[in-house]
Chain A
């Protein structure tokens, strides 16, 4: 384990940014999002969740993957070059790291998404949460606010310094290149990590027991809760677009005369045209089916298919839903139990 003085962070970022594009949480007009570092960047490490999850970097909202030209009756296709993968994500919270592992299940399984695969070669430096928010519930899914096992490097906030632990070979290599900036922590400091992890876990007041939720959720298709939830749903895409695990996309063309390009972009199961078919038929005709789909997918279908929940408890949808549709209420309905610490 090593540590870096907070005062030296700008130096670190400058160094890292020279090696590869470096993304970290930055503030613009009061909104904190991952953005490429540059001189004078307004970095905001201390805030918990960014508005958009780092999903927007590994799986951008839209990307072109094919160019085409069409002359008379001749069509020529040129695939876009694979995106650059050697960038660094700095300051990713453990829930968001877990979100990326959920995306991995989708995009890295056969057939592998080569664009995602390429972007996924990035290095993830995670920052543990010391004090999760009241709307956070990562622990419900067996995650730990103070630790992200899937990260390459793990950081803990020790007030004046960040404790630094590489978790993977990739992380180790990077750590080795930083000997000038990193220091060896005192044993007391090293030990404080354990304490931080424990405190963070206890701050989350609600202790969730999710035993049997996946199984019960399966039977919730006709549950009355959907009737009360969907009626107030506005049908906007905030919950899905801000979700670190939602991964649905649409494919579209943009053309200018005979040349054009094909792109893919995020889509949302909350939109009424999400399942609209060319015939005009819509298998999810009302918002009820759409709201149900979203929760069932996270709590039942995805676990059934991939063995893990499609929710990481980051709380973004809970905080940003304009009408407070709250997934924790659904989890409770599915038998999730809460005991207050």
Chain B
């Protein structure tokens, strides 16, 4: 990772100094071990701020929505999931491919700080490093080594596109693609009876505080004005009454149908851990089943499944299941 980080800095400095771009979007290391956040670099001398470590999880693509207006061209770094998000923005005609200079960073997984915390490894932790498939937790006076996948985000373990599908310049070598089954949780829920499922989701939705982080982080949520913020008509009431929360989550997920790139950011940022991925993946799974496999964000030229049709489509609403 260090090698790639060096390349990042060098490339960023190069494209800035050559005038190819006037802004570089990357990640910067914070004060604490799990802080790696988006940084905006407009001066080649600041390229040294760039970092590439196991916590560079935020997707930089959505910043283009604002930054693009005042910049000639913006360079940015994409992991596999970020590139899918970018393509979704392309499909929604929200960004101009020409305005982005994309560095691809193949990614074999990032570390979920909550998993570290749950394992009790967080107290006094200074930083985490990776060598091969092994993580090293570095403390003031000791070190601890473990197998990396234990601490990866769930979304990384099921990642199907770790190598960016769109880029101008590749940093590093493509990594092997080896995803775990992603529909396990969906299938498990599908196997339950309808009331059990309701109780499960009722519990999840009741926790929602409507912070809208899931929406704001999502690369497929790029409306100028969100339907949930509109006051006329008022689709969504501001009270976090359960039915309003249900309306929010069902509608949010449904707006994602055929558009969700399955980057898992919504579930990551949710402060109350609502398993939003299961909602999104249920829709992905149904689309795959009913209308053929479709991976949003892979090809922005493809017509998304819910704005097209085939005269021979099944009428799945005729399925009747026992109550």
Contact = CB atoms under 8 A, between A and B. Distances in A.
Within the complex, are A and B direct neighbours (CB within 8 Å)? yes
A207 to B, nearest CB: 15
Contacts of B204: 29
Contacts of B40: 228, 231-232
B209 A241 contact: yes
A134 B239 contact: no
A165 interface: no
Contacts, number: 112
A8 to B, nearest CB: 27
Given A250-B238, A265-B239, A236 B212 contact: yes
The range of chain A's interface size is: 35 or more
Contacts of B67: 231
Contact of A236 (B38, B211, B272): B211
| Dominant secondary structure of chain A at its interface with chain B | loop
B238 A236 contact: no
A328 interface: yes
Contacts of B215: 236
B235 interface: no
A83 interface: no
B213 A236 contact: yes
Contact of B203 (A29, A228, A273): A29
A232 B63 contact: yes
Given A61-B209, A232-B63, A328-B31, A322 B123 contact: no
Contacts of B31: 326, 328-329
B237 A273 contact: no
Interface in B111-135: 122-125
Contacts of A30: 273
Nearest to B234: A252
A80 interface: no
Contacts of B34: 324
B269 interface: yes
Nearest to A232: B38
Given A29-B203, A268-B211, A322-B58, A62 B239 contact: yes
A231 B209 CA distance: 24
> What 8 pairs across the A-B complex have the smallest Cβ distances?
A236-B213, A324-B37, A322-B269, A237-B211, A62-B239, A234-B216, A324-B35, A232-B38
26 contacts: A29-B204, A29-B273, A51-B271, A52-B272, A62-B240, A131-B123, A134-B32, A228-B40, A231-B67, A232-B37, A232-B38, A235-B212, A236-B212, A236-B213, A238-B213, A252-B237, A254-B237, A265-B239, A265-B240, A268-B211, A271-B212, A271-B229, A273-B231, A322-B265, A324-B34, A324-B35
Interface of B: 30-32, 34-40, 58, 63, 66-67, 122-125, 203-204, 207, 209-213, 215-217, 229, 231, 237-241, 265, 268-269, 271-273
